[in-house]
Structure 1
């Protein structure tokens, strides 16, 4: 049976716009025979039961995430498709440690470069998503991905890269001042800032932070690579899974032609050997530059790419309806919280969650408890509202008796009773 590898589609002349997908494609191209798998740029996480890409399908079995897919291939092939089979004990330990290091450090930098830096996101990244997504995902998914990347990197203190957010905040402050009828001098509209201008403020504090986080990634990898062709192994042993993972992230740092290419510039200046390594490994795994047409219409581009592309299926009406419903449900506050707890529970109970049995059970119990609390609060609120409506109905708030217009017109006007006149004289003298 041919394996199906579902990924985010091509961008920036790379076979995918996402680092984990690129790492998985690199691993397949090096370890799996070409006639044993197909590459599908579905660009839709909903195709996988875990709602994640990359996702490997083998009949009714689905496996997601790079490391889980690598482990599955090792078991499925009885070790034949294992790039790490030649590693010794210390090299295997280094493989695990540096894989975690690359994922944590490089993921944040790619987020900052492609998504948080507004010049890059709105001019390059967002249009790239638009070219690989079908309707209505092209309007729904990019804002979610953009927001998630900003949330993941918020702790780094580099929000000044997001010029659009700064401009939106300035517009809100300006509108508030106009509404109040007073416009202080510091709210008067000024020319739009540039990223380099913002980074140069406050004694170049933001620039120093960028320098620090790029040093944290590139310097250890440059030292680890040394004069070798690969990060862990010598030339004759070939690349390992760590090389595939590093390629996924480093290629997104080096290859994209961005309006503000600060990450590529940092990589070229701080890690020249790592730059050559990334370009060489990219050619080895992905061959020629990849276009969107290679993934969408592979039959017309058979000589343009050696990757075994298979055209993705067109979205069905049921899929479109489900996508629209999910988008609506995730925008309703209470319903969004309930669905979030359901997704957390499913992820915790998944066999490829990477959690121990005890941690998986604790997280699943926590998600179930949180959902139960939300539903109990909803029930209390609904019960209180029902009681209020019942009380109002019992007291006659919804009755129309005594308010008939015809009866009011026929009712004669009577003179004030003496008691009423006395009360008026007391109140008004």
Structure 2
């Protein structure tokens, strides 16, 4: 059985635009025979039951995420496909610790470089997604990925790298000043800053934060690598899973040609040995990859790459319909919450690591959230119905119908036909 590795497609001369996918590609390239696996640039998380990429398919079995794929290959091959099999106990502990450090630090920097920095995203990252995605994912997935990256890095306080966020803040301040009457509206000058000037200002404002963040990643990696050929071994030891993971993240920091390459510049300045290591391993394992290598039906073009590419299947009508339905459902506020709670409950029930009592408690919490949503919906519907009833009653004049017997009990007033004059009133006294 030939294994299928489904990944996000090529970008920036790399076989994938995602760091975890690059790490998985590197691992399979170093462990599996060339004819034992194929690489599929599906660029669609929905192909996997877990809706995540990278995803390894073996017949009906799907495994997602780099670390899970590594564990599965070790078990599936009885230890034969395991780059970490010769590690000592201390080296295994270092492998786990360094991998966690790399993922936590490098992912944030990649998010800032490729997605949060507006000039890089709109001029390089977004067009790269457009080249590998099929319709309608071309219009649906990039905004979602962009928003998720900004949410992941919001705590870093570097949102000013995002020109959209800057413009929104300036508009809010402008509107607040006008509303408060602090400055007459006609005297408030419109902003005339260009993209270049804004980037220059934000670069100056964020320089110290970016310097600190890049130093936290590259300086320890430079010290770990030193003069070794690999992160944990000399040349005779060979690469480990840590090297594959490092190659995935560091390649996306070094290789892309971006309009604002602050991350690549920091890597070259702070970690020259790591830079040389990344370029060397990238050329050896990935080569130079174009989109045609992954998506072209021409086998000659695919064979020119050192990776075993297989053309992804065209999106079926059912897949397109499901994508459109899910997008529409997630755009409706109430229905979005209900679907989210349902997914949480399903994940709780499928997670075997959660104990029985804890699983029941979490399931009850998810059910309570769903009931709260429905209660809110019922409250809103009831309020709207009451308002509609009041409007209907008010439009009818609000008059009360009296029965025949009640009309005689009403006080009758007779008004004069002509208004009374002051003289008439005095004459009657």
Question: What band does the TM-score fall into relative to the shorter chain?
Answer: 0.7 to 0.9
Deviation at 1:343, TM superposition (A): 2.7
Q: 2:203 aligns with which of 175, 199, 204?
A: 199
Where structure 1 has 5 or more consecutive residues not aligned to the other structure, the ranges are: 403-416
| Match in the other structure for 2:250 | 250
Secondary structure (helix, strand or coil) at the match of 1:63 reads strand
Deviations 1:137-193 (A, max 9, x none): 100110110000001001101111111321244345557777989337665322223
CA distance in 1, matches of 2:111, 2:381: 42
Higher CA-based Rg: 2
| Match in the other structure for 1:132 | 132
CA distance in 1, matches of 2:29, 2:111: 26
| Match in the other structure for 2:292 | 293
1:366–1:53 CA distance, 2 compared to 1 (3 A): farther
| Match in the other structure for 1:419 | 413
1:369 aligns with 2:368: yes
Secondary structure (helix, strand or coil) at the match of 1:83 reads coil
Secondary structure (helix, strand or coil) at the match of 1:62 reads strand
The residue correspondences of 1:111-260 to structure 2 (distance < 5 A) are: 111-171=111-171, 173-174=173-174, 182-183=184-185, 187-192=189-194, 193-201=197-205, 206-260=206-260
Would you say the 8 A contact 1:348–1:360 is kept in 2?
no
1:12 aligns with 2:40: no
Secondary structure (helix, strand or coil) at the match of 2:415 reads helix
1:57 aligns with 2:32: no
CA distance in 1, matches of 2:37, 2:362: 35
Q: Calculate the aligned-residue CA RMSD, in Å.
A: 3.1
Aligned pairs, number: 403
1:308–1:249 CA distance, 2 compared to 1 (3 A): same
CA distance in 2, matches of 1:96, 1:41: 28
The residue correspondences of 1:304-343 to structure 2 (distance < 5 A) are: 304-343=304-343
CA distance in 2, matches of 1:122, 1:391: 50
1:302–1:139 CA distance, 2 compared to 1 (3 A): closer
CA distance in 1, matches of 2:292, 2:414: 89
Deviations 1:359-381 (A, max 9, x none): 97365554343223223433454
CA distance in 1, matches of 2:190, 2:289: 47
Would you say the 8 A contact 1:174–1:187 is kept in 2?
no
CA distance in 2, matches of 1:368, 1:93: 40
- TM-score, with length taken from structure 2: 0.85
CA distance in 2, matches of 1:62, 1:351: 15
CA distance in 1, matches of 2:192, 2:239: 52
- TM-score, with length taken from structure 1: 0.85
Would you say the 8 A contact 2:348–2:354 is kept in 1?
no
1:56–1:346 CA distance, 2 compared to 1 (3 A): farther
CA distance in 2, matches of 1:36, 1:85: 20
Deviations 1:38-73 (A, max 9, x none): 111111111111111111111111111111111111
CA distance in 1, matches of 2:358, 2:31: 31
CA distance in 2, matches of 1:178, 1:259: 36
Deviation at 1:104, TM superposition (A): 0.6
1:187–1:305 CA distance, 2 compared to 1 (3 A): same
Deviation at 1:197, TM superposition (A): 2.2
Secondary structure (helix, strand or coil) at the match of 2:413 reads helix
1:257–1:358 CA distance, 2 compared to 1 (3 A): farther
| Match in the other structure for 1:406 | none
1:90–1:360 CA distance, 2 compared to 1 (3 A): farther
CA distance in 2, matches of 1:348, 1:284: 42
Deviation at 1:113, TM superposition (A): 0.2
Would you say the 8 A contact 2:22–2:248 is kept in 1?
yes
1:392–1:159 CA distance, 2 compared to 1 (3 A): closer
| Match in the other structure for 1:69 | 69
1:98–1:123 CA distance, 2 compared to 1 (3 A): same
Deviation at 1:269, TM superposition (A): 0.3
Secondary structure (helix, strand or coil) at the match of 2:185 reads coil
1:369–1:246 CA distance, 2 compared to 1 (3 A): farther
1:351–1:41 CA distance, 2 compared to 1 (3 A): farther
Would you say the 8 A contact 2:296–2:302 is kept in 1?
no
| Match in the other structure for 1:413 | none
Would you say the 8 A contact 1:173–1:187 is kept in 2?
no
Deviations 1:71-123 (A, max 9, x none): 11111111111111011111111111111111110000000000000000000
1:4–1:163 CA distance, 2 compared to 1 (3 A): same
Where structure 2 has 5 or more consecutive residues not aligned to the other structure, the ranges are: 400-410
